Amino acid sequence: MRKLLCVGLLFCLSLSAQEPVFLQWANGIAQAQLAQRDQTIAAIKNVGQAEARKLYVRQRILQIIGGLPARSGPLNAQVTGIIDQGTYHIEKVFFESLPGLRVSANVYAPNAAGRYPAVLVQIGHFPEAKAWPQLMAANLAAKGFVVIAFDPLGEGERQQGYNMVTRMPLINSDVGQHLMAGAQGLILGQNFGRYEIFDAMRAIDYLTSRADVDDSKIGATGCSGGGSLTYYTMVLESRIKVAAPACVGPSYKWGIPLGAVGDSEQSFANFLSSGLDSPDFFEAFAPLPILLLNTAQDENFPPSASDPVFNEAKSFYSLYKASDKLQRFTGPGGHGMPLENRQALYAFMIQWLKGGKGDATELPLNVLPNDQLNVTANGYVGGLDIYQVIAATPRDPNSLEEMLPAVQRLIQNNHQAPLPQYGAITDLGSYVSQDLSFVTEPGLTISGKLLIPKAAGHKSGVLYVENAAVSSTAAQQLALGGRVVLDLFPRAIFPSVDPSDLFGDWVDNLLATLIGRNLPGMRAFDILRGVDILSGRADVDPARISGAASDIAGIWLLLASAVDTRLGAIALDHTPYSYKHAFASAIHRRLHDGALTGFYLNWDLGDLVAALGSRPISWANPTDWLGNVVPQASLAPVPSAAITRQAKWGPIIYLELTVTNAGPGAATAANISSLSYQTIAGSGSVIPISRAPIPIGDIAPGASRVIPIFLIMPSTLSKFSVTEGGTLKTQIGNSLTFSLQQSVTP
């Protein structure tokens, strides 16, 4: 598993390197997008144009995070304890940001009666969680502010996947928990940050519900990851009038070349491709007061990395004649909030929220042990996990006809066939192996091996998709069977991937989303370029090309096969079969590697199977999203049929045949292929009007389809039976037949 170091606004740095070729290629795209943004910003010359830009930034950020949850339902706030600290007190509070989603918080408030300005403190990736800013929050309270600091999801008393027996979460890392929820949100077109932002908005709702808060004077601050959340919230929450993000600021111009990519809430899909960068957060807040806090020896973000961002924002503020409202302070030391920075924060909040009346000198106040600030007795707030909230997102299933253009957009299949470069040949007995490489997209070269049987004549071809390293045993076995095999290594794959790593290659996957691409889709693109190579070979019959893959690579192959009929058959092994099971728990395995952005809002992986039509698919050992093999029986539909309505117009009989799937699996492409009638009582025979084949379509477990049937029945016939023979497919493409019979007495 990759080790993680999470810091600051934009970046959660992986301590193992990214795949360097892909990073270089993606950086080229990112820098071109950022250069285009520079031109857009340079053209802004007046307040009217600046306001239009601000509107675009807010609207686009809302779009790319999947919008915000609707504010509905009461906060259900409770105060579980109060700690008197002399001139101020600390309240232990929890509230619900969404029904069942509980937020644990500390509120620091002056003891003297009155209405005070308020400050929202958002927390970064700090093990102390809401207790981290205790000294800072206490000083603000002593200086006449009401302050709220709450646990972010995955921290403090809000652990996700918490085990009440072991008193530990399933993943003991806030970043890990964010990545788990982030991938779940991604397949539904959401960014995990929307929930962190919404928690902050609901924290402000709580502040403004208090009699001691002046709701016209609200400030926000946060350090490191809390600084990034301050950025997002101040842009989308109009009640924030003053902001002071700390230990944040660099542009993606600085971060992407280093391979520095934020964890889920800090990496918005389509952010760079939408013409956005970190200065937009400053500029969208203009002309309100904002203070950027840095430290001189910040090992993650040196102040010089923030200079271009601050300078651009300064020019933007100057359009409003508000340059004095954009300030910056750099204190001593490394990443964090030293005394000097805290005092700069106090002074800034006093200046803009208290009319400059107050003393910014920090007081040596009492600091309590972290656990004494817990809201709950057992240190766990309970309620819903965020994966359960994400799973409840309403879906809108769409047709296969609508799916195929969406798949094409994910793949972006618009390039000419590649020209492969061939390497050395190795004799392996009945076949030879030859290295090859090709440019799959301008600036990006990928590699593979051709395994070529020595026997003469046209052969079938197999595109074998690797997800760890080329020359797997499965690919070799296919070559021994007389097939020409292109053993392909798609882009951005580590040669030594750890199959037990739950997170997969989240860094490259999130990097791809930033530039407006989808990495599984790009790997499907690489597969199609491999099909180009196979179909162009003289020793391969282009009508007999198939694909094979295992594990997550099966999803990339499914995606490619859905839009290219040259893949006449596919074989999958140990591949997850439905996104539904990604929401069975707070954890999953390698979902980032198989996450099709927004796809699950309208479709599931079974729809990719359905897109294959009559092309055969063999799916061995289908799995859930923890790698557990799902028994084939649990995927099988169980069809039944009944005559639920009948009518008669002279000799014409109308029947409604209701076909029901009792589950447990879904039925796809169901079809009545034969209809037959047998006389039971009376004489004569039924004359059919409705004739097979009759399409039924997809039937979810527990669902039904109504099929109208018309026939002519002679007056001498009083009872007959109808028998339907048909076919259907399971959601993993297995074909099944059925025969159903009903008796009819008109």
Report which of 383, 381, 387, 385 is spatially closest to residue 157, judged by C-alpha positions: 381
73 & 188 share domain:
yes
As a whole-number percent, the residues of the chain with pLDDT over 90 amount to: 88
156 & 113 share domain:
yes
* pLDDT tier at 300, thresholds 50, 70, 90: confident
483 & 599 share domain:
yes
- Residues for the chain: how many in total? 746
Is 551 within 8 Å of 505 (Cβ atoms)? no
Q: What does the alpha-carbon distance between residue 618 and residue 572 come to, in Å, rounded to a whole number?
A: 6
Q: What is the model's pLDDT at position 499?
A: 64
163 & 282 share domain:
yes
Give the range of the structural domain holding residue 350, as residue numbers without chain letter. 4-391
> Could you tell me the two tokens for 630?
């799902």
Q: What is the CATH number of the domain that holds 681?
A: 2.60.40.10
- Domain end, chosen from 630, 656, 685, is at 630
In sequence order, the β-bridge partners of residue 425 are 434
Q: What is the model's pLDDT at position 414?
A: 76
360 & 509 share domain:
no
> How many distinct structural domains can be found in the chain?
3
550 & 687 share domain:
no
Q: Is the peptide bond before 287 cis (omega within 30 degrees of 0)?
A: yes
- Domain end, chosen from 360, 391, 422, is at 391
335 & 410 share domain:
no
603 & 640 share domain:
no
Q: Over 50: is that where the pLDDT of 488 sits? A: yes
Q: Mean pLDDT in the chain? A: 94
* pLDDT tier at 497, thresholds 50, 70, 90: low
Q: What is the model's pLDDT at position 668?
A: 86
238 & 363 share domain:
yes
The DSSP bridge pattern shows strands 213-223 and 4-7 to be: unpaired
Is 12 within 8 Å of 6 (Cβ atoms)? yes
Instruction: Give 435: exposed, middle or buried? Use CB within 10 Å, 0-12, 13-18, 19+.
Output: middle
Q: Is the peptide bond before 279 cis (omega within 30 degrees of 0)?
A: no
583 & 647 share domain:
no
Q: Over 90: is that where the pLDDT of 416 sits? A: no
383 & 435 share domain:
no
- Domain end, chosen from 336, 369, 391, is at 391
* pLDDT tier at 470, thresholds 50, 70, 90: confident
pLDDT in tens, 248-294: 878 999 999 988 888 999 999 999 999 999 999 999 999 999 999 99
pLDDT in tens, 547-564: 999 999 999 999 999 999
446 & 483 share domain:
yes
Q: What is the CATH number of the domain that holds 549?
A: 3.40.50.1820
